[in-house]
Amino acid sequence: MKRLFVTRPLPDLVIDKAREAWDVTVRTSNAPMSPDEMRVSLQDYDAVLPTLGDLYGAEVFAAVPAARCRILANFGVGYNHIDVAAARAAGIAVTNTPGAVTDATADIALTLMMMSARRAGEGERLVRAGAWSGWHPTQMLGLHLSGKTVGIVGMGRIGQAIAKRCHLGFGMAVRYFNRSPKDLPFDATRVDNLHELAAEVDILVAAVPGGAETRHLMDAGIFAAMQPHAHFINISRGDVVDEAALITALESGAIGGAGLDVYEQEPIVPDALIQMENVVLLPHLGTAALEVRTGMGLMAVENLAAFATGAPLPNAV
């Protein structure tokens, strides 16, 4: 039986399914793998199931020129932590788990929108601190989302799911920035210029893949273009945002607030963000539901099963 290395503990159902066809070793730590651990995984196992934070860069593949591993079945839709070109050059296939994360990630985007716009995090802290003096007509007035305009940066599966929720649930007008137009089952307007989009909307949501092409896509110019009452939401990858520029925009009042599920140097969160009341900070909860994480794991196992039988990979990247 071929050997599979799983880099983090996963739901029991996923591990049980994997063990039907593989000799499975599960790493017990939840920390990202070290370079030495990654080199051993390529050298000693036929397949690896890695995830976010396991930085399989070109230098890792170069250090194992005759790798035993033939596939990295990534747990997650994002795979910018894997140098796919270097993996292919080493004869190693890479897959991901795109469909399983769409709705859960979109739900977190709406959670952040509501929490940020209606000052929910700030309000909860007030109550927990015992500092709430009671209701009054001008208490903690936030931004009413219904009927506002949302801008989606990246109209892939997740971007479309966010837009659908905004339009059908809140009656929001939808604007979006994407490389190509999308045929959508609801009204949405494509805006060719990202700065123009930022200037038009009440809520701006980043929903693009990570990687070199999108690093710091949301920069000082984008935040300067936004309206002072507008809120910025990020559920994509942390390095999509120039975090220093976002902090400056929030501190100066250039934008009204932000909701973040991911961070540029994750898990490090700048103290400046932690100290701000107009920022909602979540610990990368985008797919944090048991059924979703199980679905992601089973999709990764399906990719492994296809590879083992020589069938086309369902989710090759």
The answer to whether residue 237 is catalytic is yes
Say how many CA atoms lie within 13 Å of 269 toward its Cβ.
14
Indicate which residue of 200, 237, 243, 293 is catalytic. Answer: 237
229 is catalytic: no
Counted residue by residue, the chain has a size of: 317
Q: How many CA atoms lie within 13 A of 270 on its CB side?
A: 15
Reported as type and span, the H/E element at residue 207 is: none
Catalytic position from the list 3, 157, 284, 302: 284
Contact 47, 5 (CB under 8 A): yes
**Taking Cα atoms as reference points, which of 267, 275, 265, 221 lies closest to residue 246?**
221
- CA 259, 260, 264, 270 torsion: positive or negative? positive
Tell me if residue 167 is catalytic.
no
Closest CA to 96 of 120, 119, 72, 115: 72
78, 101, 301 from 96: Cα distances, Å:
7, 11, 10
- DSSP H helical ranges for the chain: 12-18, 35-44, 58-62, 84-89, 102-117, 120-128, 157-164, 170, 194-200, 220-225, 243-252, 271-275, 290-309
| Closest-CA residue to 262 (of 293, 288, 240, 289) | 240
List 37, 196, 266, 302, catalytic entry: 266
Three-state SS for 73?
strand
Catalytic residue IDs: 237, 266, 284
